Amino acid sequence: MTTLLAFAFVLGVLVFVHELGHFLAAKRVGIRVLKFQLGFNPTVLSVHRGGTEYSIGALPLGGYVKMAGENPDDERSGKSDEFLAKTKWQRFQVLIMGPVMNIALALVLTTVVLYQGVEKGAYEDQPPIVGVVVEGSPASRSDIQPGDRIVSVAGRGINTWEQFLLAVGTKANREVSIGLLRNGIALERKVTPTVIGQSRFEVGDVGVLPNVHPHVRSVLPGGAAEKAAIKAEDVVLAVDGRPITFSYQLKEAIAKHPDQLITLTILRNGEQQTIQATPAKQGNEGLLGIGIGDETVKIKPGVGQAIGISVEKNIEYARVIFQTLWGLVTRETSPKQLMGPLAIAQLSGESAQLGWIALFSLMASISLNLGLLNLMPIPVLDGGHIFIMMLEGLARRDFSVRVKEKMLLAGFVVILMLMVTVIYNDLTRISWIERLMPWRDAPATGVQSPKGDTGAGSPKGDTDPTGAQAPKR
């Protein structure tokens, strides 16, 4: 029930904001609006006000604004309040305002989330200098070494770990060139990212980790850690000689050795030490009795700073979205990364359980996708209508109804193919359904990435967001 309610809330808000943009722009330029509907038929609630019917449909998968004289084959009265009676500039304003409102909503929601304060990995905004190369990973097979500074992925400059992980994440099972700087010498390596084993989406990973380590936050009195003289604020560098980068790796290493002696390499007051400890057995897992955490930084910006960071983040995410879309055209990005309404519903439910901050972050990501994707020059989308209008302007004549119908039909075919793709992808992410697909290979496994799932989005019909790319926030 939480998933359904969260999905209805997320989609309802995004569609309402999008259609509100069209509605307000139409009213401003003097176009008569016949109907403003959220959701698709059958209609469950309808109210008439000021010559406009406001209604709610039973299927919360989109919405629309119907304007007088909107379609070329509509009966024309010759009145000046019809859509096609307006100038191209006025019609452009009406078409563009839906996507603009979604982009604006993404900026507002991101600002709100940032203003509440953000805790993130300390490494995310740092230059991507390799700290650890995972054994057997694509990076190890391509001679990427600790200390290498990653400067580019697929020819695009990389300045932070966050940028690197986003760039590699969209290249699963696709060979990509990675530019390195090693001892002042520029190098290039060809690497094919593998799929992260536990990811629901096909997220690429090459097996390089930053030079960070978890630290001990607390020590349980009388526990195995206290007996081994482990202290709070110790930084754990390795277990049995294996480098430890994140807290989940340390938890796994301890859990695998109940009642077995392990050797921890720690950093205490700037000095490296070796400590031996024996995790106590709890069930089938080992337990040291410590609280552990990753290196994080906390940001609590003011309103102005939050707005500035929001603009920067959304520009960066927009760049990733466009790169993903272009990657789909050039086959550099796998279509398996696309997600549809089922995946969005699942993410909405999970985010709602984490709290409104997580839910707003997801909404901001999807809203940005919705705004940008609707600007794509594909007939049926807002951007497609703008593109047709631009061609008419260049030709200095309006196209015939027949020509426009052919353009819209071509756009509809493209959208239909994308819908089939995203829905198929969603179904394959449901384990019991995937087991009914004998042509599907076993789920791929790969190196665990420091980042969680990311998704890539696809264009969809007007305000029917069945595709979203979700860069991490």
Are 61 and 11 in contact by the 8 Å Cβ rule? The answer is: yes
Give the C-alpha distances (Å, rounded to integers) separating 127 from 150, 184, 462.
8, 15, 39
Parallel, antiparallel, or unpaired: how do β-strands 215-219 and 290-293 relate?
antiparallel
Local structure of residue 421 (DSSP, 8 states): H
Catalytic residue from among 19, 82, 162, 202: 19
Axis crossing angle, helix 341-354 with helix 401-428, rounded to the nearest 10: 60
In the block, residue with structure tokens 């966050």: 162
Beta bridge partners of 63: 38
Q: Is the peptide bond before 60 cis (omega within 30 degrees of 0)?
A: no
Q: Which two tokens stand for residue 89?
A: 């500039």
- Counting DSSP H helices and E strands in the chain, the numbers are 12, 20
How far, in Å, CA of 445 to CA of 452, rounded? 15
State how far the Cα of 257 lies from the Cα of 6, in Å rounded to an integer.
41
Give yes or no: 19 in active site: yes
Give the DSSP per-residue string, 2-22.
HHHHHHHHHHHHHHHHHHHHH
- Determine the Cα–Cα distance for residues 220 and 224; give it in Å rounded to an integer: 8
**b or e along 287-308 (b: 16 or more beta carbons within 10 Å of the residue's beta carbon)?**
bbbbebebbeeeeebeeeebbe
- Name the burial class of residue 242, with classes exposed (0-12), middle (13-18) and buried (19+) by CB atoms within 10 angstroms of its CB: exposed
Query: For residues 259, 264, 266 and 272, what is the CA-based torsion angle, rounded to 10 degrees?
Result: 140
Provide the CA 135 distance to its chain's centre, in angstroms: 28
Active site residues: 19
